[in-house]
Amino acid sequence: MADPDNKFPYKRLLLKISGEALAGQEKHGFQVKIIDQIAEQIKRIHELGLEVGLVIGAGNIFRGALGESLGLKRFVGDQMGMLATVINSLAFQDVLAKKGLPARVMTALKIQEVAEPYYIPQALEYLQEKQVLIIAGGTGNPFFTTDTAASLRAIELEADLLLKATRVDGVFSGDPEKDDQAQKIDQISYLEVIKRGLKVMDLTAISLCQDNNLPIMVFDLFKKESLLKIVSGQKIGTKIC
* pLDDT at position 199: 84
Give the domain ranges of the chain. 12-162+187-214
- At 119, the amino acid letter reads Y
- Which one has a higher pLDDT value, 4 or 16? 16
CA 76 to chain centre: 23
* pLDDT at position 1: 44
Helix (H, G, I), strand (E, B) or coil at 76: helix
d(CA 128, CA 116): 18
Tell whether the model's pLDDT for residue 4 goes beyond 70: no
Kindly report, residue by residue over 125-167, the tens digit of the pLDDT: 999 999 999 999 999 999 999 999 999 999 999 999 999 998 8
**CB distance 106 to 122 below 8 Å:** yes
Kindly report, residue by residue over 72-115, the tens digit of the pLDDT: 999 999 999 999 999 999 999 999 999 999 999 999 999 999 99
| Region at 51 (left for phi over 0; alpha for psi -120 to 50; beta for the rest) | beta
Cα–Cα nearest to 18, from 171, 165, 238? 165
First-to-last CA distance in the chain?
Answer: 17
**CB distance 120 to 98 below 8 Å:** no
Kindly report, residue by residue over 56-75, the tens digit of the pLDDT: 999 999 977 788 888 999 99
Angle (nearest 5°) at CA 63 between 58 and 65: 155
Handedness of CA 66, 16, 28, 183 (dihedral sign): positive
Helix (H, G, I), strand (E, B) or coil at 3: coil
Handedness of CA 227, 233, 238, 239 (dihedral sign): positive
**CB distance 153 to 205 below 8 Å:** no
Phi first, then psi, for residue 184 (nearest 5°) are -75, 140
Q: Other C-beta atoms within 10 Å of 57: how many?
A: 25
How many Cα atoms within 13 Å fall on the side-chain side of residue 166?
A: 21
Q: Which helix (H) or strand (E) holds 239?
A: strand 238-240
**CB distance 240 to 213 below 8 Å:** no
CATH of 12-162+187-214, one of 3.40.1160.10, 3.90.1150.10, 3.30.590.20, 3.10.580.10: 3.40.1160.10
